[in-house]
Amino acid sequence: MSGAVETRVVSRAAGRAAGRAVGRASRRDIPAGPLDAAATARLAGSGLAIIAVTYGLARFAYGLFVPAFRAEFGLDAAQVGAVGSASYAAYCAAIYPAMMLAPRLGGRAVALAAGCCATLGLLLIGLAPHPAVLAVGVILGGLSTGMISPAMAQAVSSRVAVSRRDRTQVVVNAGTGLGVALSGPAALLALDQWRAAWLVFAVLAGAATVWVARDVPQGRSHGRAAAAADVAAPAGRRGVERLAGLLPRPLLPAGAPRLLSTAAVVGATTAAVWVFGRDVLTQAGGQDEATTTLAWSLLGLCGLLGAGAEDLARRVGVGRAWTGTALALGAATAVLGMRPDSALLACLATATFGVGYIAMSGLLLVTGARVYPWHPSAGVGLSFLTLAAGQTVGGSALGAIIEAADARTAFLAAAGCALFSALLVPRVPAASPASPASPSPAV
């Protein structure tokens, strides 16, 4: 009898403890109000800066300094390609954990982790005594890019007012263009002093990380109450629910299959310029280092204009904006492949590509957040993951075409992918009655 009474007492005590845990978690999960205009501007500025150092410096600057790395470390083409591929692999590997952790830990926490990875990676590259350390630095740079996009999408979607949200997302995304615009002149002016350039990049990354810590809100989704309520659930049910929680629910909501498919196709298109653009200008076009660096810098600088993608989508619709962007990417790719010998046309093509690429990735970002309104970091993460997968597969396929035929044929094939993507327009479902910042059933 006393054992039964003791069991009931323990059960009631456990219930009260679980109730208090739920209460505390619920109070913590009270959603904060949207940021005012000034705080939103600070968030956009810090987001643009951290995207610039992760994408523009920690990831894309590697290709610009390949001649210096080959001279310093005696790398052959295969080793250069292997290091670059490792960065892409790290990028893909980091997206999934970031998109699932951002709602739980908050956008700021994951963004800070990305900034630290970028800073450490850039520092290791600048101080690398041998190729293995160089590779680790490049891999850390790849990890930072995979982490940062879902993190910033979570921060913006959870704390920025709906009327400012899409514009803030695309402004943050335009940081890639800024970073590329900075790395181009640095490669031209400091190729002989490349270590100093990468150490300066590390300082810039550290400063951007501090800015994120100051001005990016936590942006955590409200899943802690559910986690606390789970205390009293049977162990078996908890295990099943935790396993299911490793994926966004639903995994493929309305609009997702088309969005992810066109992201992969357009990724194959962009691989031509990102992977082979400078090589085609120098090898097939006979352009000198100054011209190719100018073209690359124009790509990044004009990419800042891609921040107008949200305004374009609002005025003409996502479908028409996507079609126009894909056609611009296709035209730029075709011109670069057909006339790499013309410095003027090459610069115009890379400038157009820069605008198109940043606008396209901005549209992917905004559309992904809308297709997954309960879990915006998952929508952005999956969109960018399929974009990277398309770039990886496309890069390999285009390389094979170049070996079998020539660069002109490969670039025209990539332009054909852009035409297909222009037809495969992503569709934004009707607005959900709930706010994207509401509690996510996936967490």
Give me the pLDDT at residue 428, please.
Answer: 72
The pLDDT-based confidence of 245 (bands split at 50, 70, 90) is: low
Please state the rounded mean pLDDT for residues 250-272: 88
Please state the rounded mean pLDDT for residues 269-275: 87
Give me the pLDDT at residue 262, please.
Answer: 92
**Residue 196 pLDDT greater than 90, yes or no:** yes
* Among the listed residues 235, 274, 242, 245, the one whose alpha carbon sits nearest the alpha carbon of residue 392: 274
- Give CA–CA dist 294/290, Å, rounded: 6
The pLDDT-based confidence of 224 (bands split at 50, 70, 90) is: very low
pTM: 0.76
Give me the pLDDT at residue 237, please.
Answer: 47
Give me the pLDDT at residue 227, please.
Answer: 42
- The mean pLDDT of the chain is 81
- Give CA–CA dist 37/245, Å, rounded: 34
State in words which class domain 246-430 has: mainly alpha
**Residue 173 pLDDT greater than 70, yes or no:** yes
**Residue 30 pLDDT greater than 60, yes or no:** no
Pick the CATH number of 38-222 from 1.10.10.10, 1.10.1760.20, 3.50.50.60, 1.20.1250.20: 1.20.1250.20
Each residue's pLDDT tens digit, 366-425: 888 888 887 777 888 889 889 988 888 888 888 888 888 888 999 999 999 999 999 988
The pLDDT-based confidence of 7 (bands split at 50, 70, 90) is: very low
**Residue 27 pLDDT greater than 60, yes or no:** no
More confident of the two residues 161 and 24: 161
Give me the pLDDT at residue 240, please.
Answer: 46
Give me the pLDDT at residue 119, please.
Answer: 97
Give me the pLDDT at residue 29, please.
Answer: 45
**C-beta of residue 211 within 8 angstroms of C-beta of residue 52:** no
Give me the pLDDT at residue 213, please.
Answer: 94
Which of 1-5, 153-157, 341-345 reaches the highest mean pLDDT? 341-345
Taking CA atoms, 212 is separated from 115, 168, 379, in Å, by 8, 15, 22
Give me the pLDDT at residue 261, please.
Answer: 93
Give me the pLDDT at residue 347, please.
Answer: 94
**C-beta of residue 228 within 8 angstroms of C-beta of residue 25:** yes
Intrachain domains 38-222 and 246-430 with the same fold: yes
CB atoms within 10 A of CB 2: 6
More confident of the two residues 377 and 106: 106
Please state the rounded mean pLDDT for residues 221-238: 45
The pLDDT-based confidence of 225 (bands split at 50, 70, 90) is: very low
Among 90-104, 216-230, 272-286, 412-426, the minimum mean pLDDT is found in 216-230
**C-beta of residue 98 within 8 angstroms of C-beta of residue 151:** yes
3-state helix/strand/coil string of the chain: CHHHHHHHHHHHHHHHHHHHHHHHHHHHCCCCCCCCHHHHHHHHHHHHHHHHHHHHHHHCHHHHCHHHHHHHHCCCHHHHHHHHHHHHHHHHHHHHHHHHHHHHHCHHHHHHHHHHHHHHHHHHHHHCCCHHHHHHHHHHHHHHHHHHHHHHHHHHHHHCCHHHHHHHHHHHHCHHHHHHHHHHHHHHHCCCCHHHHHHHHHHHHHHHHHHHHHHCCCCCCCCHHHHHHHHHCCHHHHHHHHHHCCCCCCCCCCCHHHHHHHHHHHHHHHHHHHHHHHHHHHHHCCCCHHHHHHHHHHHHHHHHHHHHHHHHHHHHCHHHHHHHHHHHHHHHHHHHHHCCCCHHHHHHHHHHHHHHHHHHHHHHHHHHHHHCCCCHHHHHHHHHHHHHHHHHHHHHHHHHHHHHCCHHHHHHHHHHHHHHHHHCCCCCCCCCCCCCCCCCCCC
What are the sequence ranges of the domains in the chain?
38-222, 246-430
For 174-208, letters b (16+ CB in 10 Å) and e give: bbbbbbbbbbbbbbbebbeebeebbbbbbebbbeb
More confident of the two residues 368 and 250: 368
Give me the pLDDT at residue 429, please.
Answer: 65
Give me the pLDDT at residue 396, please.
Answer: 81
Each residue's pLDDT tens digit, 340-363: 999 999 999 999 999 999 899 889
